[in-house]
Amino acid sequence: MVTRLVKPSMPPSLRSSVMKAPVIDLSSCILCEICCELVPDVFRINEAGYVEVISLDDYPQVEVDDAIKACPGDCIYWDDI
């Protein structure tokens, strides 16, 4: 289970504008590589053979959402950065 905390000092109007990044739960990842095929600018296979998220300033929400929906391991989710 993942718990997300919202900082109490953050005004409600800013909570929706918080930067988010995709995260992969490697314990659930079955290495199907669908995310890498759908969004190669965000996901890749690293040298150790695991899927990783490429560090970017901004992530394409629609494309990452498509990868989240297509993931058979249900291991990709958004997290605040």
Q: What SS3 state is found at 23?
A: strand
Which fold is adopted by the domain 18-80? Alpha-Beta Plaits (3.30.70)
Check: pTM over 0.75? Answer yes or no.
yes
Buried b (16+ CB within 10 A) or exposed e, 30-69: eeeebbbebbeebbeeeeeeebebeeeeebeeebbeebbe
Per-domain boundaries in the chain? 18-80
pLDDT tens, residue by residue, 33-70: 999 999 999 999 999 999 999 999 999 999 999 999 99
| Predicted pLDDT at 6 | 40
